[in-house]
Chains A and B, each alone.
Chain A
Amino acid sequence: MATAINPIVNPRLRVQVLDDEEIQRIHTATLEVIESAGVRFPSSRALDIWAANGARVDRDTGVVRAPGALIEDALRRAPAEYTLAARDPSQDLPLDGRHVYAGTDGCGIEVVDVETGELRRSTYRDVADIARVADALEEVAFHWVAVSAQDRPAESRGLHELAAIWRNSTKHVQTESVVTEREARAAVEMAAAVAGGRERLRERPVLSLMECTTSPLGQDGGAIDAGLVAAEAGVPVGFMTMASCAFTGPVSRAGTLVVGNAEVISALALMQLAYPGCPVYYAAAQTAMDLRSGAYTGGGPEDFVFGAATNALADFYHVPLSMGAFATGAHEPDWQAGLENGLSMLLASAVGSDMLLGVGLLNGSRIWSYEQLLLDCEIYALVRESLKGVEVNDETLALDVIRTVGPGGDFLAEPHTRRHMRELWQPRFLDRRPHGTWLAADDRARDWARARAQALLAEHRPEPLDDVTAGTLAEIIARVEANAGVAAGVGST
C-alpha cells in the first residue's frame, strides 16, 4: 500500500509581508522593466512567438521588450488550480491554494554514505535509494531528482534519473534536471508511458518540469525550449528565479523581487502565448549574496522574507508557487541547518506556498544527507502541527471536563484526554530525555535519523512499476542514447 501523504492543509497562521498597494507597485515596476530593459530569450522559437504576438524583438541580442498588456493578457490564461498526478492516484496533489507540499531538494553532487559516513560522488543507485526512502515518508509529497546519476552518460542522465524515481516510488515527479528540448521530448514520452498515453498524461500529469531563469533578466535557451515541449503536452512547467541581492539582482529586496518577477512572469507569459491555458507555476529561490565571497547563501533573513513575499506575487497572478525553502548552507545537520530550514519552512508555509523545495541537501544544495532528510521532515511535521492553530468548538472547549476536574486535580485520567491525546505532537528527533540519560547514552538525534534511514532502506518496498512500462522507459532512453552516439551498454539502467 502506498504511504498516505500528510500535508499542511489550510494553514491557520497567516503572515502578510506585502500589502495590496505594495504588490501593485512591484507588478507595475516589473511590467515597466519588461517593456524598457527587456528580458533575454536566447531561443529562436521563443523569439518567433514573441514577435508574432507584437513584442519588440532584437534578433541580435535575443532581448524581448513586451508591452505590459501583452504580459497581463497572457498570464490571465494560466489556470489558477490543477493537480499534480501521482502513479498512485491516492497520492495526487491538488494545487488549490489550500495545501503546502514538500518535495526533496535536487541535483546534489555528493552523498554522505548512510553506512560509512563518507562523502562520495552521487550515482544512479543513490537516485533510486533516495526515491525509495522518500516514498515511505508521509512528509514528502513529491520528488525532485535529489542527486545526479553521475555514472550515467550526460546525454541521457536526466532520463535515467526519471526512470529511477518512477521505478522506486508512486509519488509525483518534478524534474529540475531536464534542460534541453531533446531531453524534454523524451521525458514527456516517458511520462506518457507511465500515465497510459498522451491524452491520459494531459489529464493526469505524473511529471512536471522546473526550469531556471538566468538573473538578471535572462532565460536559458535550452530551458525555455524544454518548457515549451512540456507546455504543449500539458505537463506543468515552472520557472525559477535565483536572483541574489547585490550580485544578480539589486541590493534591495524590492529591487531583487522586481528583477526575478520580470524573469518568471515573462517566461510564464510565453508559455501561455504558445499554449493558452497550459498549467504553469511560479518558482523562486532568491537570496542575498555573501558580501565576502559572492556565494549564493541559501539561508538568512532575506531568503525567509523572499519566501513570503514571492507567494504574494504568485497569488496576485493566480498561479501556484514552488518556493525554495530548506536547502541550508550548513555543512552538516547542525544548529545552522535546523535554524535556517526551520525559519524558511515556517515563513514559506505560513503564506501558503504550494510546493516547498526541498528536504535533504546540505551545503547550498550540494551534499545529500539522509540524516538531514529525516530532520527536515521533522521540521515539516512540527510546522504542519503549529499551523493548525487553535480549533474552537464544544468538544475542544471541553467545558464538561473542566467542570468535572474543577480547581486542583489533573486531567490525566479523563476519557476526553485519552480520546484526543494522540493529537498532541510527538517528536521523533528532538531530544527530550533527562540529562543523565543523555550523558550515558552518548548519542544524538542525528544518529536516530540515520538509523531510521537505514531501516527504511532495508525494509521499504514501494509499489513496483509494471514490467511493460519499465521496458518502455528503458527503450526510450536507449533510443535517445543511440541517437546521441552513446556507446551501447554504457547507459543501461
Chain B
Amino acid sequence: MADGLFEAMRRSVEEGDVAAAEATARTAVDEGLDPLEAIESGYVPGLSCVGEGFASGELYLPDMVLAAKAMKAAMSVLEPEMKRRGATRSVVGKVVLGTVKGDIHEIGKNLVGTMLSASGFEVHDLGVDVPLDRFADVAGEVGADIVGVSALLTTTMTNQRAVIDTLTSRGLRPTVKVIVGGAPVTQAWADEIGADGYSEDAVGAVTLARRLVGA
C-alpha cells in the first residue's frame, strides 16, 4: 500500500504537480503514515531525480522550480503532523539568504535559494533590500550554518563586507560561514572581504554550501 503512495509522491514532485503533492501528503496523514518516512521515501527521491536531470542538462529550470514547489506544498501539509509527533527532519544545514540593502535584484538569489532547498538545506530567505543587521539577527535566531549574501550592483557589493563585519562583531563567526555572489562579485572580492566562499551560479552555490557544512 505504502509503496503505491510513495510512487505517487515521487511522481507528483517529478511532474511538478502541486495538487497531487498536497493530496498524497494528506493521504499519508490520514492513514497515519510516519511523515518523515513519507518525505524520505516519497518526495525526496522525486526531487533527487529532477535535480540529477537538471544537472545533466536534460531538464530545465522551470522543471526544477516546479518540483521544489511541489515538495514545499507537501511539506506544509506534513509539517503540522511532524510537530504533533515531535519529529524533526534532519537538514543538511541552515542557510540565511538575502540581497543586501539598496539592491532589489532577486532572480539570482531566488535561484540559489531554490537549489539549496532542493538539496536539503533549510533556507531562510530574507528577500531584497535587506537591512544589514537583519542577516546577523536571523542567523542568531535560527542558528544558521551559512549566511548567503547577494549583491548585483557595484554600489551595494560593499554591503557584503558590512554584513560580514556585523556577524564578526556579534561573535557569530567563524561558526557561521559566509558565501557571496552576484554580477560584480568575483573570487578576488570574496577573498578581500573575508568571505568563506563565492560561486558564480546556483549549482556551484550548492556544491560550495555542502562543502562548508561538511556534507
Question: Does A248 touch B at the CB level, under 8 Å?
Answer: yes
Query: What A residues does B108 contact at CB under 8 A?
Result: 294
CB-CB under 8 A from B57, the residues of chain A are 292
Complex CA distance for A322 and B154, rounded to whole angstroms = 24
Within 8 A of A (CB), among B61-109: 61-62, 102, 104, 107-108
CB proximity to A under 8 Å, residues B139-170: 154-156, 158
Q: Which A residue's beta carbon lies closest to that of B105?
A: A214
Q: Bound complex: CA of A276 vs CA of B89, how far in Å?
A: 59
> What's the dominant secondary structure at chain A's contact region?
loop
| Chain A residues near B111 (CB-CB < 8 A) | 294
Residues of B within 8 A of A109 (CB): 154, 183-184
Q: Is the CB of A292 within 8 A of B183?
A: no
User: How far does the alpha carbon of A289 sit from the alpha carbon of B62 in the complex, in Å?
Assistant: 11
Cβ of B69 to closest chain A Cβ, rounded Å: 15
Number of interface residues of B (CB under 8 A): 17
**Which DSSP category, helix, strand, loop or mixed, fits chain B's interface?**
loop
B172 to chain A, nearest CB (A): 26
A-B pairs under 8 A by CB, number = 38
A401 within 8 A of B: no
Q: Is B40 an interface residue (CB 8 A)?
A: no
A366 lies within 8 A of B183 (CB): yes
Asked if residues B62 and A157 are in contact (CB atoms below 8 Å), the reply is: no
User: Residues of B contacting A220 with CB < 8 Å?
Assistant: 104
Query: Roughly how many angstroms separate A247 CA and B62 CA in the complex, as a whole number?
Result: 9
Is A457 engaged at the interface, CB distance under 8 Å to the other chain?
no
A293 in contact with B158 (CB, 8 Å): no
In the complex with contacts A247-B107, A294-B111, A154-B61 CB distance below 8 A: no
Most A CB contacts (10 A, CB to CB) among B104, B108, B158, B202 go to B104
Inter-chain contact A246/B62, CB cutoff 8 Å: yes
Contact of A148 among B62, B154, B158 (CB under 8 A): B154
Q: Which residues of B contact A294 (CB under 8 A)?
A: 61, 107-108, 111, 202
CB atoms of B61 and A291 under 8 A apart: yes
Chain A residues within an 8 Å CB radius of B202: 293-294
B68 to chain A, nearest CB (A): 13
Specify which chain B residues have a CB less than 8 angstroms from the CB of A214 in the assembled complex: 104
Say yes or no: is A150 at the interface (Cβ < 8 Å to chain B).
yes
User: Measured between C-beta atoms, what is the minimum distance from B123 to chain A in Å?
Assistant: 17
Question: In the complex, how many residues of chain A place their beta carbon closer than 8 angstroms to a beta carbon of chain B?
Answer: 19
Q: Which residues of B contact A154 (CB under 8 A)?
A: 102, 155-156, 158
Contact with B along A128-166 (1 / 0, CB 8 A): 000000000000000000001010001001000000000
| Chain B nearest CB, measured from A249 CB (Å) | 12
User: How does the 8 Å CB contact mask read for A272-297 relative to B, with 1 for contact and 0 for none?
Assistant: 00000000000000000101111010
Would you list which residues of chain B between 28 and 78 have a CB under 8 Å from chain A? 57, 60-62
Whether B137 is near chain A, meaning CB under 8 Å from some CB there, is no
Find the residue from B57, B102, B107, B111 having the highest chain A CB count within 10 A.
B107
Q: Mark A284-312, 1 if CB is under 8 A from B, else 0.
A: 00000101111010000000000000000
Q: Decide yes or no: A150 and B154 within 8 Å by CB, A246-B62, A289-B61 being known contacts.
A: yes
Tell me the bound Cα distance from A414 to B111 in angstroms: 66
Within 8 A of B (CB), among A201-230: 214, 220
Q: Which chain A residues border B156 with CB–CB below 8 Å? A: 154
A293 to B61, CA, bound (A): 7
Contact with A along B8-37 (1 / 0, CB 8 A): 000000000000000000000000000000
CB within 8 Å of B: which of A334-387?
366
Contact of B201 with A by CB under 8 A? yes
Complex interface: chain B residues within 8 A of A296 (CB):
107
Measured between alpha carbons, how far is A294 from B62 in the docked complex, in Å? 9
The answer for the CA separation of A220 and B154 in the assembled complex, in Å, is: 18
* Beyond known contacts A246-B61, A291-B62, A294-B107: 16 more, CB 8 A cutoff: A109-B183, A109-B184, A122-B154, A154-B102, A154-B155, A154-B156, A157-B155, A214-B104, A246-B62, A291-B61, A292-B57, A292-B61, A294-B108, A294-B111, A294-B202, A366-B183
16 A-B Cβ contacts within 8 A?
Answer: A107-B154, A109-B184, A148-B155, A150-B154, A154-B158, A157-B154, A157-B155, A214-B104, A246-B62, A248-B107, A289-B61, A292-B60, A294-B111, A296-B107, A366-B183, A366-B184
| 9 closest residue pairs by CB, A with B | A154-B155, A291-B60, A109-B184, A148-B154, A294-B61, A294-B111, A150-B154, A109-B154, A293-B201
User: A residues within 8 Å of B by Cβ?
Assistant: 107, 109, 122, 148, 150, 154, 157, 214, 220, 246-248, 289, 291-294, 296, 366
